[in-house]
Amino acid sequence: MRSDEQRDKCLDILIAKVQTLENEVAKLKGESFVENKISIQKDRGIEIPDTILVPNARPNEKESSQSDSGLENAIGTRWIGRIGALAIIFGVAFFLKYSFDNKLIGETGRIIMGILSGSVFITIGVYLQEKKNMGLYGQILSGCGLAILYLALYAAFALYHLIPSSLASAGMIVVTTTGMVLATRYSAYSLVAITLLGGFLTPVMLSTGQNQPLTLFGYILLLDAGTLFLASFKRWPLLAIASLLGTAIIYISWHSQFYTDTQRWLAFGIVLIFFLFYNFYILISQFDSQNDDTLNDAVYDQFLILGSAAFFFLAFFAQYRGEIVWPVKIFALSMAIFEIILAIIIKQIKTETDATIVTYASASVIFTVIATFIILEQRWIMPALAAEMAALGWIGLSMNLPILRKGAYALGLIVLILFGHDVNFQFEPFQKFIPVLNSRFLVCAFVVTCFYIFLYITALYRENLDREEYIVSKTVFVITQALSLILLSYEIHDSFLSSSPRHVMEWTDPNYAYQLSLSVLWAFYASILTGIGIVKRIRGVRMMGILLLGITILKVFLMDLSALETFYRIISFIILGLLLLAVSYGYNRFKDLIFGDDDQ
């Protein structure tokens, strides 16, 4: 055990070290000090200062001075310098024009002066950043120098015709590369913005009016590759968006000026390469284990995915002069397949669903709907949308993608609206009607089958549903039964209408048979539902059957009893009674099974 004297010495040593560290921190902050004398025992080998420097700061005055100097700091260190650089750029541009108009300096001399001044600005900017710790001011000067070099090369080619386009292009590529290197070295967003703008303006400023798509887009592809590398390396996702916008603008400019139908395959190849290029960038970024997606990064990725897909589709559409021909139809469907494949691939890479997967899936839904409306004729749109609903529901539930499930719900609503229109289809007076084997029944039956498939999928993957989606399976079940009963009822109606078109709506034998058939159909369908609910122990199905039985009973007692003739009335009541007895028997026979633990 240590003695009291040893413990006191240890405490003195610790206090001295803490005071020394505080003094060093205060000196680094450049604060004023007040000397305080303390008496501490000195241990051997340990320097304990007698004088402790205590920061003499007034917190209130410091906070107020910081708030007052914030605006001054922004103006003095940023905006004044930027405005000054912009003024110099305009001055150089005006100088080149003025000297050209008045022949003050030779053309070669003007270009040399421009190149030298731009190089000097860049050199001074690098020196200030490297040696003087003036990063922001150095970036302003370097950006000014890059802009002057772009102007000088442009003037040498376009205004004075001193150098050929190949040499001017090489010079601008060197300037662009220099700007990229400086932006990477000093993490200067402003430098890369100037460089990227100058890079995309290079083919515009140096255009000779000749159609050279391979050279043009080869250069743009190299520029985009460097930009996306920098965007990934420095975590600047906005650069990728700027790259896509610049590429789209360059393509639109070329297409409007030079495109002809003979260049269709060439133009398609160009936009295909850029589309694959941007999606490959998205795909590669998913393998980056250090890539922690923030909200901003997710927004940029979504814009890049949807923007590249829109650019590709609209460019292809424009290559066919805006006409909806079969290549465009097939292309829209192919885009839907490609986007969902990418969503599945990224889902295999990442265990959790993120914004990238959702965006690809959303793009697939959009192109699927577009393909449906432009490919199919009116009568095939509803079954196609129903099939898409089932497919999207399966993918959305099996892969746990909420956006696809919501897309399936939206398609289901559209299908319901179309079903209400198509099921009420009126056959022509002299058109031969074959029950079941007619176009209306087959199409609507296919739609109902898709709803049954969707119902089965929601039950199979019920654990993937969100809490607010639990009602979906019940809603789909009710919709499916309603559609089935409505379709069968219309089929019976049209069967009698085709055989006795004049009498089916009058209280004659055909109408009696029609009303009897409806009562039998509803009672039989309700009995089947109740039986399934008993066997499968599903209370909701049983309640649906009982509700339909109640509606049938009301129809029989309120309508059939008073309107039907005796013969039809007897049949209606006997069949209804037998079915009700069968349902009651099922309840009594299996009451222990029914009133146990139901599957809700």
pLDDT tens column, 70-87 = 665 666 555 666 676 667
Determine, yes or no, domain membership for 590.
yes
How many Cα neighbours within 13 Å face the side chain of 567? 5
Same-domain status, 387 and 480: yes
Whole-number pLDDT of residue 357? 81
Same-domain status, 521 and 562: yes
Under the banding of pLDDT at 50, 70 and 90, the label for residue 334 is: very high
Same-domain status, 560 and 515: yes
Determine, yes or no, domain membership for 524.
yes
Same-domain status, 469 and 521: no
* The domain boundary residue, chosen from 14, 31, 61: 61
Same-domain status, 550 and 504: yes
Q: Does the pLDDT of residue 282 top 50, yes or no?
A: yes
Do 159 and 206 form a contact (C-beta atoms < 8 A)? no
Determine, yes or no, domain membership for 446.
yes
Q: Which two tokens stand for residue 228?
A: 């996306």
SS3 515: helix
Same-domain status, 544 and 481: no
Q: Which residue has the tokens 């007034």?
A: 58
Determine, yes or no, domain membership for 287.
no
- 3-17, 348-362, 424-438, 489-503, range with the lowest pLDDT: 424-438
Determine, yes or no, domain membership for 99.
no
Same-domain status, 466 and 528: no
CA distance 20 to 40: 13
Under the banding of pLDDT at 50, 70 and 90, the label for residue 183 is: confident
3-state secondary structure 301-337: HHHHHHHHHHHHHHHHHHHCCCCCCHHHHHHHHHHHH
Comparing CA positions, the residue from 486, 508, 511 lying closest to residue 496 is 511
- 113-138 residue pLDDT tens: 888 888 888 888 888 877 777 777 77
Overall domain count for the chain: 3
- 13-39 residue pLDDT tens: 777 777 777 777 666 655 544 444 444
Q: How many CB atoms lie within 10 A of CB 294?
A: 11
Q: Does the pLDDT of residue 62 top 60, yes or no?
A: no
Q: Which residues pair with 34 in a beta bridge?
A: 54
Rg (CA), the chain: 39
* The domain boundary residue, chosen from 61, 85, 109: 61
- Percentage of the chain exceeding pLDDT 90: 13
Q: Which residue has the tokens 């002066």?
A: 113
Same-domain status, 514 and 470: no
Under the banding of pLDDT at 50, 70 and 90, the label for residue 255 is: very high
pTM here is 0.61
Determine, yes or no, domain membership for 310.
no
Q: How many residues does the chain have?
A: 600
CA distance 349 to 142: 41
Residue numbers of the domain that contains 481: 376-486
Q: Does the pLDDT of residue 429 top 70, yes or no?
A: no
Q: Does the pLDDT of residue 526 top 70, yes or no?
A: yes
Q: Using a CB cutoff of 8 Å and minimum separation of 24, what contacts does 264-267 make? A: 264/319, 264/320, 266/213, 267/213, 267/315, 267/319
Comparing CA positions, the residue from 514, 486, 520 lying closest to residue 499 is 514
* The domain boundary residue, chosen from 38, 61, 84: 61
Q: Does the pLDDT of residue 40 top 60, yes or no?
A: no
Same-domain status, 398 and 463: yes
Determine, yes or no, domain membership for 122.
no
Whole-number pLDDT of residue 556? 74
Comparing CA positions, the residue from 242, 102, 252 lying closest to residue 94 is 102
Whole-number pLDDT of residue 528? 87
Question: Position 444: which residue type?
Answer: C
Same-domain status, 423 and 477: yes
Same-domain status, 51 and 13: yes
Whole-number pLDDT of residue 469? 79
Do 558 and 536 form a contact (C-beta atoms < 8 A)? no
Same-domain status, 440 and 509: no
